[in-house]
Amino acid sequence: MNRSLGTYSLALIVAAASLTQRAGAQAVLDVPVTLSGAEGERRIDGLAQPTQASSLITLEGAAQGAYQWGTAQASAGAITLALSPPIVTYRDGLLVRFLAPADLDGALTVNVNGLGALPLKRPDGLNPVRGQLRQGTVCEALHVDGRFVLMSAAERGCPPNSIYVNERYCIDSLSTNNQLFYTGVSFCANRGGRLCTWDEYHAACAFLGTQLGGMFNQWEWIDDTSNHSQTADQAGRTTCLSQRSAGNPLVTTGDTRCCYHPR
Amino acid sequence: MAAVLFAAKAVAQLDAPVPVQLVGASPADRQVTGLADPLSPAAGVSVDAARANAVSFAQATGTSVMSATLIPAPAQYVAGMTVSIVPQEANLAGALINLNGLGPVPMLKHGNLPLDSADLVPGAPHRLIFDGSAFQVIGSVYRPCPAGYRIGAREYCIEEFSHDSLTFVQAGTFCQSGGARLCTFGEWLHACLSTPAFIGTVLNFEWVDHAANNGDNAKRVGRGSNGNTPEDSGIGCTNGHTASPGAFTRFRCCITR
């Protein structure tokens, strides 16, 4: 007992309450502990950084946000996150924070402490779109009902690797090669964009010129269609004015260059 | 002496009237473990409870006044108080929130704007911070899709069902009069290809907002040929056709988000 300092060691608590003290020098209490002293006496000091999920946290750790913070790694859309001390199980309300380890979008998963990969979704249920998880940005994800919901990483401006054409839309600076029309439609939608309309494509081509890479190498899909045999249209093969109906969209390929509404 | 100072009450509670000092030599010896979720505002909190927002996370019910119950109950609203709620229903415009019966207060977005209807997505978590008089929704508030629409992708909403047949011009006017527009070819296709249940709502040809180079035709999708199949091969996401704008055809509207 260190009564002169007005504190009790845990050993004294053990002795006082006739509680068990295991061989490993661990005091085990099977009843609640209430600090019943005056205002300045109701403290627990000397806590080390917690080692278990059920450990009492320290003020320092709480102030630092240390318990939600983890180091993330990503591979092919799978984000792995290590929290210390490790979590024991996923539960609703679990909040984790990490730095995006890369520019990520699409069908992503988060796996915390090896408990299993869960989908990472936006609050509106969509997959994160291009520009929403940029490398080095802080991401905050909250677990609800078997998924993680991205609470931060708001979109801003044009997505990475796209360029403002005007204040209303952005366009990819490079195209993606050899896709079917239907693949291109989904490719852009999953990135948070869409195929450009013909006038958007032409205006971008005319306004941005050499800022757009890979132009005039291949036909590129636009969100337009042509004749009665269910075809889709392409543009930009040799000039900004080039346009054609591409034939059977189940077999004809083209390059894909998406447009986006900036946020 | 110790027996006097540490009384195990009849309710099996250990009282410590003075500070507790952990003096173990190693960090592992200076731990308090086995904590359950706190049941009172003065309780200690474990790592697990802190991470899981155990005292600030709740389901919310109601539409004009959303009610939620935190455990333990807060004594009052305090500036800086942070809560996470998961609405079970979409909110109405100007919705309020009432935590543990402390009284309804406004929920605001973008600092000082009242919520629009359905700003809070059912089943999705939303974080709110009390500013002294209202709870501000922090993070992203995505533009919701109106009733009767579903999210097609980040950029648009699409109607869940098609309308009765109109001419191309009438269909476009119908959508515009409702603050919408005919869907583009790509929007309609993505909605159909990405959502298996969508095709079940396609009853016949549907107009999309595209012309076609076959005379003065306009584009129809959802029925016809996919390019490989005969001219009318029935219903399908990749099927299409063109027709005179005067032909009566079903349609659905889209809205840019």
Q: Which residues contact A76 (CB under 8 A, 6 or more apart)?
A: none
Q: Is the pLDDT of residue B255 over 50?
A: yes
- Kindly give the pairing relationship between strand A33-35 and strand B14-16: parallel
CATH number of A162-260: 3.10.100.10
What is the mean predicted confidence (pLDDT) over A129-139? 88
What is the mean predicted confidence (pLDDT) over A100-109? 93
Domain with CATH 3.10.100.10 in chain A: 162-260
pLDDT digits (tens, 9 = 90+) for B179-219: 999 999 999 999 999 999 999 999 999 999 988 767 788 99
**Contact call for residues B137 and B106 (beta carbons, < 8 A):** no
A156: exposed, middle or buried (Cβ count in 10 Å: 0-12, 13-18, 19+): exposed
Q: For chain B, first and last CA: distance in Å?
A: 72
- The mean of the pLDDT values for chain A is 88
Q: What angle do CA A102, A119, B148 make, to 5 degrees?
A: 115
C-alpha closest to that of A108 among A70, A83, A81, A90: A81
pLDDT digits (tens, 9 = 90+) for B31-76: 999 999 999 888 999 999 999 999 999 999 999 999 999 999 999 9
Least confident of A25-29, A84-88, B122-126: A25-29
Instruction: Return the residue matching tokens 């019943």.
Output: A36
Q: Is the pLDDT of residue B227 over 70?
A: yes
User: What is the value of pTM for the model shown?
Assistant: 0.82
Q: Which residues contact B196 (CB under 8 A, 6 or more apart)?
A: none
- CA B183, CA B191: separation in Å to the nearest integer? 10
Query: Residue B215 has what pLDDT?
Result: 73
Q: Which residues of B touch A232 (CB under 8 A)?
A: 185
- CA B233, CA B151: separation in Å to the nearest integer? 28
A102: exposed, middle or buried (Cβ count in 10 Å: 0-12, 13-18, 19+): middle
Phi-psi region of A145 (alpha: psi -120 to 50; beta: other; left: phi over 0): left
pLDDT digits (tens, 9 = 90+) for A45-100: 999 999 999 999 988 888 888 999 999 999 999 999 999 999 999 999 999 999 99
pLDDT digits (tens, 9 = 90+) for A139-193: 999 999 999 999 986 677 899 899 999 999 999 999 999 999 999 999 999 999 9
Q: Which CATH architecture has domain B149-256?
A: Roll (3.10)
Query: Residue A28 has what pLDDT?
Result: 83
Closest partner residue to A230 among B33, B48, B227, by Cβ? B227
Query: Residue B228 has what pLDDT?
Result: 84
Residue A4: pLDDT band by 50, 70, 90 thresholds? very low
Contact across the interface for B84 and A251, Cβ inside 8 Å: no
Contact across the interface for B20 and A45, Cβ inside 8 Å: yes
Which residues partner with A27 through β-bridges?
A21
pLDDT digits (tens, 9 = 90+) for A200-233: 999 999 999 999 999 999 999 999 987 666 889 9
Query: Residue A134 has what pLDDT?
Result: 86
% of chain B beyond a pLDDT of 70: 94
Closest partner residue to B18 among A41, A50, A231, by Cβ? A41
C-alpha closest to that of A49 among B137, B29, B133: B29
Q: Which residues of B touch A35 (CB under 8 A)?
A: 16-17, 19-20
- CA A64, CA A60: separation in Å to the nearest integer? 6
Contact across the interface for B12 and A249, Cβ inside 8 Å: no
Please state, in angstroms and as integers, the Cα–Cα distance from residue A86 to each residue in A113, A114, A131, B27, B44, following that order.
6, 9, 30, 17, 19
Contact across the interface for A185 and B190, Cβ inside 8 Å: yes
**Contact call for residues A193 and A105 (beta carbons, < 8 A):** no
Domain boundaries along the sequence of chain B: 57-138, 149-256
3-state SS string over B133-164? CCEEEECCCCCCCCCCEEEEECCEEEECCCEE
Q: Which residues of A touch B46 (CB under 8 A)?
A: 50, 53-57
